[in-house]
Structure 1
Amino acid sequence: MPSPTYPVTEAIDVVEEHFGRRVSDPYRWLESDMRDDPRVADWIAAQNAVTEACLAALPGRAVFAERLAAALDFEQLGAPIGRGDRLFFTRRSGADDQPSLIVREGGRDRTLFDPNRWSDDGSVALGEWAPSDDGRFVALGVQDSGTDWRTIRVVDVCDGAVLADEVRWARFTLIAWAADGSGFFYSRYPEPAGGAADPAGLSGHAVWFHRLGADQSADRLVHADAEHPFALNLADRTDDGRFLVITTTPGPGVNALAVVDLTDPDWIVRPVVTGFDAEWSVIGSEGARLLLVTSDAAERRRIVTLDLDDPQPSPRQIVAEDAAVLTSAALIGGRILATCLVDAQTELRRFAPDGTPDGVVQLPGIGSAGGFQGRAADTHAFFLFSSFDTPITVCRYDVAADRLEIWAEPELRVDRERIAVEQRFVTSKDGARVPVFIVRRRDATGPTPTLLTGYGGFGISMIPVYNPAHMAWIEQGGAVATANIRGGGEYGRAWHRAGQFENRQNAFDDFIAAAEFLKAEGIAPQDGLAIHGESNGGLLVGAVVNQRPDLFAAALPGVGVMDMLRYHRFTGGMLWAGDFGSPEEERHFASLLSYSPYHNIRPGADYPAILATTADGDDRVVPGHTFKYVAALQASDLGPKPRLVRVESRAGHGAGLPHDRTIALYADMWTFAARWTGLAVGWPRQARISSQDAR
Structure 2
Amino acid sequence: MKRIIFIITIFLTIFLNAQKYNLASSFPISDEYFGLKIVDEYRNLEDLKDVKVVNWMKSQSSYTDSLINLIPNRNYYLEKRLELDKRQLYSISNVKIISNNKYFYLKKNAGETVAKVYYRNGFLGKEELLYDPVSFNSLINGNSSSKSEHKYLINLISPSWDGSKLAISLTEKGKELSEVIIMDVKKKTVLPEIITNTNPSNIGGIKWLEDNSGFFYIYYPVIDNKDSLFAKNTRLVLYKIGEDPKKLKDVFSNINNPELNIGKESYPAILTFNSDDLYYIGILVDSEDFRNTFIISKKDLLNGKMNWKKLYTKDSKVHNIRLIGNDLFFLSGYNSSNYKLCKTNILNPDFKNPKTLIPENENEVLQDYTITSDGIYYTTNTNGVEAKLYLYKDGKNILIKLPYVSGNIDLQSKGKNFSDIWVSCSGWANDVQRFRYSLQTNNFSLENLVPAIEYPEFKDVIVEEITVKSYDGTQVPLSLIYNKNLKKDGTSPVLMNGYGAFAESYSPYFSISYLLWANKGGIVAVPHVRGGGEKGDQWHVDGQKLKKPNSWNDLIACSEYLIEQKYTSSKKIALLGASAGGILMGRAVTERPDLYGAVIIESGVLNTLRVEKNGTGGTTIKEYGDPNNSIEYKGLLEMDAYHHIKKGEKYPAMLISTGINDPRVKPWMSTKFVAKLLANNGSENPILLKIDYEGGHGGSIPIAQRYANIGDIFAFAFWQLGHPDYQPKENTEQ
Q: What is the TM-score normalised by the length of structure 1?
A: 0.93
CA RMSD of aligned residues (A): 2.3
Counterpart for residue 30 of structure 1: 45
Q: Which residues in structure 2 correspond to 1:133-532 (within 5 Å)?
A: 133-171=161-199, 172-192=203-223, 195=224, 197-198=226-227, 200-225=229-254, 226=258, 227=261, 228-242=263-277, 243-264=279-300, 265-266=302-303, 268-271=306-309, 273-310=311-348, 315-323=354-362, 324-352=364-392, 355-370=395-410, 372-408=412-448, 409-413=451-455, 415-446=457-488, 447=490, 448-532=492-576
1:60 is aligned, of 69, 73, 78, to: 73
- CA contact 1:200–1:571 (8 Å) conserved in 2: no
Name the SS for the 2:704 alignment partner.
helix
Partner of 2:114: 98
**Do the aligned residues in 2 keep the contact of 1:283 with 1:330 (CA within 8 Å)?**
no
Paired with 1:346 and 1:77, the residues of 2 have a C-alpha distance of: 25
Whether contact under 8 Å (1:382, 1:395) holds in the other structure is: yes
**563-572 vs 306-315, which deviates more?**
306-315
Q: Is contact 2:295–2:311 with CA below 8 Å preserved after alignment?
A: no
Cα shift readout 1:435-461 (whole Å, capped 9, x = no counterpart): 110011122222411101111111001
Deviates further, 542-551 or 632-641: 632-641
> How far off is 1:388 after superposition?
1.0
Distance in 1, Cα, partners of 2:552 & 2:419: 46
Paired AA for residue 64 in structure 1: Y
How many aligned residue pairs are there? 679
Q: CA deviation at 1:433?
A: 0.2
- Paired AA for residue 482 in structure 2: R
- Deviation of 1:282 (Å): 4.9
| Counterpart AA for 2:707 | I
Which residue is equivalent to 1:691?
none
The separation in 1 between residues aligned to 2:333 and 2:316, in whole angstroms, is: 5
Distance 2:447 2:150 in 1: 29
Aligned position for 1:14: 29
Is the partner of 2:291 in helix, strand or coil? Answer: strand
The Cα offsets for residues 299-345 of structure 1, whole Å up to 9 and x where unpaired, read as: 11111112123377873222211121111111124321111111213
SS in 2 for 1:444: coil
Are the aligned partners of 1:116 and 1:122 in contact in 2 as well (CA < 8 Å)? Answer: no
Question: Displacement, 1:552?
Answer: 0.1
The C-alpha deviation readout for 1:108-157, integer Å capped at 9, x for no partner, is 11122333555537842222321111110111221221113122221111
Code of the aligned partner of 2:267: L
State the distance in 2 between where 1:617 and 1:410 align. Answer: 36
Asked if the contact 1:335–1:350 (Cα under 8 Å) also holds between the matched residues in 2, the reply is no
Q: Deviations over 1:258-292 (max 9, x none)?
A: 22321444355543533222443455333211211
1:15-59 Cα distance to aligned partner (Å, 9 max, x none): 2222112222222222223xx433233122201121122212212
2:562 corresponds to 1:562? no
Aligned in 2, Cα 1:294/1:72: closer, same or farther, shift over 3 Å?
farther
Alpha-carbon distance, 1:350 to partner: 3.2
Cα separation, 2, equivalents of 1:213 and 1:241 = 24
Cα 1:45/1:295, change in 2 over 3 Å: same
SS in 2 for 1:146: coil
Aligned-pair distance for 1:414? 5.1
Which deviates more, 165-174 or 416-425? 165-174
C-alpha contact 1:568 1:577 (8 A) present in aligned 2: yes
Q: Structure 1, residues 551-579: CA drift from partner, whole Å, max 9, x if none?
A: 00000011001111112213222111111
Unaligned runs of 5+ in 2: 1-11, 137-146, 728-734
3-state secondary structure, aligned to 2:539: helix
Q: Which moved more, 1:306-315 or 1:226-235?
A: 306-315
Per-residue deviation, 1:247 = 2.0
Deviation by residue 1:418-448 (Cα, 9 ceiling, x = unmatched): 2101101100000100011001112222241
Range with bigger deviation, 546-555 or 195-204: 195-204
8 Å CA contact 2:379–2:390 kept in 1: the answer is no
Contact 1:379 1:400 (8 Å CA) reproduced: no
Mapped to 2, the partners of 1:546 and 1:196 lie a distance apart of 30
Q: Is the 8 A contact 2:406 2:425 kept in 1?
A: no
**Partner Cα separation in structure 2 for residue 159 and residue 125 of structure 1:** 23
Provide the rounded CA distance (Å) in 2 between the counterparts of 1:282 and 1:67: 39
Partner secondary structure for residue 217 of structure 1: coil
Bigger mean CA offset, 456-465 vs 328-337: 328-337
Deviation digits for residues 389-434 of structure 1, max 9, x if unmatched?
1233333233444332222244255534221011011000001000
Unaligned runs of 5+ in 1: 684-695
1:612 alignment partner, SS class: strand
Write the deviation string for residues 615-641 of structure 1: whole angstroms up to 9, x where unpaired.
Answer: 111111011100000000111132111
Matched to 1:280, the amino acid is: V
Residues 282, 504 of structure 1: alpha-carbon distance in 2 compared, 3 angstrom cutoff = closer
Distance 1:439 1:351, change over 3 A: same
Contact 1:383 1:396 in 2 (8 A): yes
Q: What does 1:80-95 align with in structure 2 at a 5 Å threshold?
A: 80-95=96-111
Partners of 1:563 and 1:63 in 2: CA distance: 33
Residues 646 and 374 (structure 1 numbering): CA distance in 2 closer, same or farther, change over 3 Å?
same
- 8 Å CA contact 2:167–2:180 kept in 1: the answer is yes
Output the CA distance in 2 between the equivalents of 1:676 and 1:525: 14
Mapped contact 2:320–2:330 kept (Cα < 8 A): yes
**Residue 71 (structure 1) shift:** 4.3
Which contiguous aligned blocks of 4+ residues in structure 1 show a shift greater than 6 angstroms? Answer: 311-314
Q: Report if aligned partners of 2:611, 2:621 keep a CA contact under 8 Å in 1.
A: no
- Greater shift, 597-606 or 106-115, is seen at 106-115
Mapped to 2, the partners of 1:455 and 1:436 lie a distance apart of 13
- Is the contact made by 2:532 and 2:539 (CA closer than 8 Å) also made in structure 1? yes
Q: CA deviation at 1:70?
A: 2.9
Q: Which shows bigger deviation, 49-58 or 111-120?
A: 111-120
Residues 581-592 of structure 1 mapped to structure 2, 5 A cutoff = 581-592=625-636
- Which is further off, 16-25 or 261-270? 261-270
The 3-state SS of whatever aligns with 1:54 is: helix
CA distance in 1, matches of 2:386, 2:129: 33
Matches of 2:370 and 2:486, distance apart in 1: 41
- How does the TM-score come out when normalised to structure 2? 0.88
Change (3 A) 1:61 1:606: same
